[in-house]
């Protein structure tokens, strides 16, 4: 069956020097050919040519066109790419002409979906393409690049093979008498499952870290009123985002701002000062602060070093010292107590830079290195957790049937991560590696 021809603008809609229109599908070359002054059907693949584009004798634009022959294209189908002048209207007119000739407007992600269906990329890589486009930090971008490059695919394929091998060995032993099951499991299967579990747990751990930094590290600034939390946020952002006054209780809602530091995204949250209050607006603010703390990657607990610590400060220190980086602010005013905390003034840019380095160090110190094994998104993480759960739940009383079932469940999750068909591959593997009569 012929694939429908899809077309779409590949560059952002707006004014620019050039706009790129992509067309893909069996008849894409014929369809575009009806609009061009050059005969695209006679054009060798992977060449760029100059052409005029006209629709029903109306001249539309002068363009550059590339033709790709299946399977050597991004989607694996015949493809045409047209660079038009970059105006909003002109690119739309050319696109409309292609639609008039019988193409349909491509739904979201359709080009990559076809690339996946035509096995140009696996699911991990298809997801990485989207991630690369949307990456907000260099740190995350590097991980997505490695995924597109196939690193994680290799890790998953390797894991898949280990599980397939395990499953095949369990299956050929299914006919043994019951009493031998347990011994076989203990000596041959259990050590392997444990090794695989360790690897899986390591992947899960790394993936959680990546998911945390791909959306930006969350840094929540807390402390009692008037210690300089909003001043700190403003100094970090380099602009006056939050209102600062000498009146305690100025900030009542969460104010947030984002920066990029050393290639990583950090989202800072300034919160309402925490103290005993009767004011319902303030109480609501304090409630929100507590919620923010729950999902913080870093907590900055701010104290006013120019004043004696109060009962409220002591309470906060007691509650958060395990998780928080404790800061004494207003260093420029001198110190009232000798405290062994990170000392700074929000008025001193050098102090702010040093603080940012400390936050950077704390957040990135355990980041997975490029040589390590990881996945990059929630879908993959969930499936990986599925693998873990199945391998952990060894059926009691143990039968090889049930064990085989658990291993296949975890395999199924790996196949899903890669977007592959489970049953067919498993059968192929078993038939190709073992003789049927065994
Ligand atoms: N001298 C000095 N004053 C500071 C410093 N940081 C903040 N302040 C002052 O401290 C007062 C309170 O600052 P804010 O940033 O509003 O404090 P806050 O913690 O956000 O207060 P609430 O929103 O009420 O909880 C303001 O008058 C600031 O100018 C500092 O490093 N040195
Ligand atoms: Mg404030």
76 lines ligand 1 (CB under 6 A): no
Q: What is the pLDDT of residue 179?
A: 58
Q: 424 lies in a domain?
A: yes
Distance 243 CA to ligand 1 centre (A): 10
Distance 239 CA to ligand 1 centre (A): 15
> Which of 120, 142, 167 corresponds to the end of one domain?
120
Distance 230 CA to ligand 2 centre (A): 4
CATH number of the domain encompassing residue 171: 1.20.120.430
Residues linked to residue 267 through DSSP beta bridges, in sequence order: 218, 258
DSSP letter string, 295-364: T-SEEEEEEETTS---HHHHHHHHHHTTTEEEEEE-GGG--SS---SEE--TT-HHHHHHHHHHHHHHHH
333 lines ligand 1 (CB under 6 A): yes
Q: What is the pLDDT of residue 397?
A: 74
Q: 409 lies in a domain?
A: yes
234 lines ligand 1 (CB under 6 A): no
- pLDDT: which is higher, 83 or 168: 83
CATH number of the domain encompassing residue 26: 3.30.1360.120
Using one digit for the tens of pLDDT, what is the confidence trace for 158-210?
A: 999 999 999 988 888 776 666 566 787 888 889 999 999 999 999 999 999 88
346 lines ligand 1 (CB under 6 A): yes
Residue 431: left (phi > 0), alpha (psi -120 to 50), or beta? alpha
Q: What is the pLDDT of residue 370?
A: 67
CB atoms within 10 A of CB 108: 9
Q: Does one domain contain both 343 and 221?
A: yes
Joined together, the tokens standing for residue 432 give 């190709």
Atom 24 (ligand 1): residue with closest C-alpha?
249
Give yes or no for residue 406 having a pLDDT over 80: yes
Atom 10 (ligand 1): residue with closest C-alpha?
228
Q: Does one domain contain both 340 and 411?
A: no
Q: Does one domain contain both 115 and 163?
A: no
Q: Judge whether 36 and 53 are in contact, CB under 8 Å.
A: yes
Determine the Cα–Cα distance for residues 52 and 61; give it in Å rounded to an integer.
6
Q: Does one domain contain both 298 and 221?
A: yes
Give yes or no for residue 362 having a pLDDT over 90: yes
CA atoms within 13 A on the CB side of 383: 17
pLDDT confidence band for 32 (50 / 70 / 90): very high
> Which of 347, 381, 415 corresponds to the end of one domain?
347
CATH number of the domain encompassing residue 333: 3.40.50.300
Q: What is the pLDDT of residue 367?
A: 79
Q: 358 lies in a domain?
A: no
CA-based end-to-end distance of the chain: 41
In the predicted model, what is the mean pLDDT of residues 336-363? 92
Distance 320 CA to ligand 2 centre (A): 19
pLDDT confidence band for 366 (50 / 70 / 90): confident
Give yes or no for residue 429 having a pLDDT over 70: no
Q: Does one domain contain both 223 and 331?
A: yes
Q: 354 lies in a domain?
A: no
Distance 419 CA to ligand 1 centre (A): 53
Q: Does one domain contain both 143 and 70?
A: no
251 lines ligand 1 (CB under 6 A): yes
125 lines ligand 1 (CB under 6 A): no
Q: What is the pLDDT of residue 98?
A: 97
Q: Does one domain contain both 393 and 413?
A: yes
Q: 265 lies in a domain?
A: yes
Mutate to test the pocket of ligand 1, among 225, 227, 231, 306 (most ligand atoms within 8 A of CB): 231
Q: Does one domain contain both 253 and 132?
A: no
Distance 363 CA to ligand 1 centre (A): 26
- In ligand 1, the atom with minimum distance to the C-alpha of 251 is 23
Q: Which of 99-103, 145-149, 293-297 has the highest mean pLDDT?
A: 99-103
329 lines ligand 1 (CB under 6 A): yes
328 lines ligand 1 (CB under 6 A): no
> Which of 67, 98, 120 corresponds to the end of one domain?
120
Atom 32 (ligand 1): residue with closest C-alpha?
330
70 is in which domain, residue-wise? 6-120
Q: Which ligand is nearest to the CA of 272?
A: 1
Q: Does one domain contain both 139 and 97?
A: no
Atom 13 (ligand 1): residue with closest C-alpha?
228
Mutate to test the pocket of ligand 1, among 220, 225, 227, 228 (most ligand atoms within 8 A of CB): 228
pLDDT confidence band for 427 (50 / 70 / 90): very low
Q: What is the pLDDT of residue 353?
A: 97
Q: Judge whether 302 and 289 are in contact, CB under 8 Å.
A: no
In the predicted model, what is the mean pLDDT of residues 55-72? 95
Q: 244 lies in a domain?
A: yes
Atom 7 (ligand 1): residue with closest C-alpha?
228
Instruction: Indicate whether this model's pTM tops 0.85.
Output: no
Q: Which ligand is nearest to the CA of 329?
A: 1
Give yes or no for residue 48 having a pLDDT over 90: yes
Determine the Cα–Cα distance for residues 302 and 89; give it in Å rounded to an integer.
54
Q: Does one domain contain both 191 and 174?
A: yes
Share of the chain above pLDDT 70, in %: 94
229 lines ligand 1 (CB under 6 A): yes
Determine the Cα–Cα distance for residues 73 and 80; give it in Å rounded to an integer.
9
Q: Which ligand is nearest to the CA of 351?
A: 1
Q: 357 lies in a domain?
A: no
Q: Does one domain contain both 14 and 83?
A: yes
In the predicted model, what is the mean pLDDT of residues 419-430? 49
Q: 352 lies in a domain?
A: no
Give yes or no for residue 438 having a pLDDT over 50: no
Q: How many domains would you assign to the chain?
A: 3
Find how far residue 13's CA is from the centre of its chain: 25
Q: Does one domain contain both 204 and 221?
A: no
Q: What is the pLDDT of residue 178?
A: 62
């Amino acid at each position: 069956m012929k694939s429908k021809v899809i077309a779409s603008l590949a560059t952002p809609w707006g004014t620019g020097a050039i706009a790129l229109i992509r067309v893909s599908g069996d008849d894409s070359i014929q369809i575009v050919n009806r609009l061009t002054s050059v005969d695209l059907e006679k054009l060798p693949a992977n060449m760029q040519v100059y052409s005029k584009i006209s629709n029903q004798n109306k001249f539309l634009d002068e363009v550059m066109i590339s033709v790709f022959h299946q399977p050597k294209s991004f989607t694996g189908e015949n493809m045409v790419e047209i660079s038009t002048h970059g105006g909003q209207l002109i690119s739309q007119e050319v696109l409309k002409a292609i639609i008039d000739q019988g193409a349909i407007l491509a739904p979201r992600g359709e080009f990559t979906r076809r690339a996946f269906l035509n096995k140009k990329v696996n699911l991990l890589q298809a997801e990485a393409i989207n991630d690369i486009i949307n990456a907000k930090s260099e740190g995350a971008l590097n991980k997505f690049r490695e995924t597109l490059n196939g690193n994680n695919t290799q890790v998953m394929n390797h894991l898949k093979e280990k599980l397939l091998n395990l499953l095949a060995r369990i299956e050929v032993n299914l006919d043994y008498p019951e009493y031998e099951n347990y011994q076989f499991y203990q000596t041959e299967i259990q050590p392997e499952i444990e090794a695989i579990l360790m690897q899986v747990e390591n992947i899960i751990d790394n993936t959680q870290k990546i998911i945390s930094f791909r959306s930006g590290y969350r840094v929540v600034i807390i402390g009692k009123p008037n210690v300089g939390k909003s001043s700190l946020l403003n100094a970090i952002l380099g602009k006056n985002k939050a209102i600062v006054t000498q009146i305690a209780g100025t900030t009542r809602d969460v104010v947030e701002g984002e920066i990029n530091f050393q290639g990583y995204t950090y989202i800072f949250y300034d919160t309402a000062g925490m103290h005993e209050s009767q004011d319902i607006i303030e109480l609501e603010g304090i409630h929100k602060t507590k919620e923010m703390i729950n999902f913080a990657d870093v907590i900055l607990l701010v104290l006013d070093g120019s004043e004696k610590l109060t009962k409220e400060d002591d309470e906060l220190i007691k509650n958060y010292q395990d998780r928080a980086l404790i800061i004494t602010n207003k260093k420029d005013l001198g110190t009232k107590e000798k405290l062994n905390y990170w000392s700074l003034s929000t008025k001193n840019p050098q102090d702010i830079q040093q603080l940012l380095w400390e936050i950077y160090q704390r957040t990135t110190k355990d980041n997975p290195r490029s040589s390590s094994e990881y996945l990059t998104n929630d879908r993959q993480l969930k499936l990986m957790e599925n693998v873990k759960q199945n391998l952990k739940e060894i059926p009691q009383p143990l039968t090889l049937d049930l064990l085989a079932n658990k291993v296949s469940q975890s395999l199924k999750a790996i196949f899903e991560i890669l977007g592959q068909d489970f049953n067919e591959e498993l059968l192929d593997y078993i038939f190709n590696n073992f003789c049927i009569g065994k």
